[in-house]
Amino acid sequence: IPNGSSTRTGSSVKLGIFGGAFNPIHHGHLVIAQRAVEHLALDKLLLIPTAVSPRKEKRSIASPEERLAMVRIAVRGNPILQASSMEINRGGTSYTIDTVRSLDKPNVKLFLLLGADSAEGFPKWKSPQEIAQRCTIAIAGRPTTLGVQMPKYVSRVRRIPGPLLEISSTEIRKRVSQGLSIQYLVPDGVHRFIRKIGLYRQ
Residue-wise pLDDT for 185-194, tens only, equals 999 999 999 9
Interhelix angle 64-75/188-197, rounded to 10 degrees, is: 150
| Least confident residue range of 50-59, 138-147, 176-185 | 138-147
Which pLDDT belongs to residue 163?
76
Residue-wise pLDDT for 122-168, tens only, equals 999 999 999 999 999 999 866 555 567 899 999 999 999 877 678 99
In angstroms, the CA 160 to CA 166 distance is 16
At residue 202, the 3 state secondary structure works out as coil
Rg (CA), the chain: 16
Between residues 11 and 111, which one has the greater pLDDT?
Answer: 111
Which pLDDT belongs to residue 118?
87
Q: Phi and psi for 37 in degrees, rounded to 5?
A: -55, -45
What does the mean pLDDT of the chain come to?
90
Which pLDDT belongs to residue 162?
78
Q: Going along the chain, which residue ranges are E strands?
A: 13-20, 44-49, 81-83, 108-114, 135-141, 157-161
pLDDT band at 5 (very low <50, low <70, confident <90, very high): very low
Residue-wise pLDDT for 87-105, tens only, equals 999 999 999 999 999 999 9
The model carries a pTM of 0.91
Across 30-48, average pLDDT: 97
The answer to whether 82 and 195 have CB atoms below 8 angstroms apart is no
Which pLDDT belongs to residue 4?
46
Which pLDDT belongs to residue 83?
98
Pairing of strands 81-83, 108-114: unpaired
The amino acid at residue 127 is: S
Which pLDDT belongs to residue 70?
98
